[in-house]
Structure 1
Amino acid sequence: MLINAFAMLAGAGGAPRVAISIGKKDNRTAEKILGNCFSLLIIMAVILTFIFFIFAPQMLTLFGESGKTLPYAVSYSRIYILGSIFVLIVMGMNPFITTQGFAKISMLTTVIGAVINIILDPIFIFVLDLGVRGAALATVLSQAVGAVWILRFLTGKKTILHLRKENFRLRRDIILPCLALGISTFVMLSTESILSISFTSSLSRYGGDLAVGAMTIITSDTSTSDCLNLSDYFLQSSVQIICIHTLSHLPISLSPEILIL
């Protein structure tokens, strides 16, 4: 969830600004925003991978992992964090596809990753007998396929905005407004992650591994229920579409500073 928070810092912050630029028929600026947000995701992936891979045992102990589960948690997290770049690309760049009006492509990104993960999990865990390492590897590979799918689309012929090398260099006037818009989503997701860590740590201390396992089941059930609430997904998609169509008919131009204020 913490990695998702960093991904949405760029995705939730950059996608609305791209929608505004498309609405103003300024695709050149929109592509600059797209390229800058992609560079930001890569930088965050490198930093997060270094920190979490090196300090995985210490951080997991701080998060409440017990001596019995710590070796499994370290094995899983280190493999998963090596593939965090794919997770960040999928979570962070997918909103830019939706913003352009390609909702089906955006949906397929999620579906492809989920289906591949479901197929690979039993193969790696049971057939190849890799245990938790197999689960982590299956997740990384499924996200890698999703990342390749996104990059291929954003560099292909069907997309409105293209990912170009000349737009990868970070510019303060482009990236800071994106961060200003994305910080609220980042804080919300990171706070949920911190709460989850606090629950796990307390349960591990006072209830042991059984209590942590029970909490994991409850969290999974809650996440499944949230997935069935389609109103949030319709709301996120409709806001970006409204931005494009509304701004394309406005006789005035809006500056990024107005959005920050």
Structure 2
Amino acid sequence: MDEAHSSVGGIESSMGCPDPPWCGWIETTGDALLILEAARRGIIPRVTRRLVETERKMINSGSVFVFDEDESGIKRWTDGYYWSPSRILGNFLAGSNRGQKKSEVAARAESVASTSPPHDQEIEQLYDPNNKTGTFHILSRPKNEPTINGMDRNRERTLVGSLTNSYKFKPNGMMKKTFSLTIGGVSQHLISYYRIEDVESGKLRCPSTYPELTSLEISRDYLDKTHFRCPPKIEYDQDGKPHYAGEGE
């Protein structure tokens, strides 16, 4: 299988081993729009229902999923992991994994409950996804603290946004980056997962580096500036067709 692509005929291969619809790194609004356009054309399969437990094995660094709310019936994406509250990152939302799957936390809590009754409060905290009980302390990173692996701060922001400033951040943990557009009253969503080292090492490539994707003409509906929190740069050709021309200021 090509490193950047998986089966485009469906989410699950004929051998029953799940593969993600697409694998790579979604860096810019343009990258997200290329994937949505490819999914609209059927080049990349959309998720049409909630993932079952075996299909969640597809979720690894580089996995990218697209779904249409009406088509799939999915109103909220669930993947079985605990995530930090999302932070706005341009036209995306970004979150960092807290280190364990919900099933692992549940098993740990059950084990503690059977052996250490006095620690009920701690068990309750393990289940708290909204950080209300304080298991995950909010930490403010000093301005002079080094960036992740000494990388440029602008590059760090592209990869993780402001997550390092507020939460007990795991530099080698999984990140989740999401993107949404509502077209004609129907919401379409892109969910991507990555590890920083996989992006920085070049293991994960952007859609904009694949000719078969960059050759796609992005739908005019997707390029309507009113859809975006941070409108991208749009240029028009001599026929009046809009084209993505980079991130906005």
Same fold at TM > 0.5: no
TM-score for the superposition, normalised by structure 2: 0.29
Tell me which protein shows more helix as a share of its residues. Answer: 1
Tell me which protein shows more strand as a share of its residues. Answer: 2
TM-score for the superposition, normalised by structure 1: 0.28
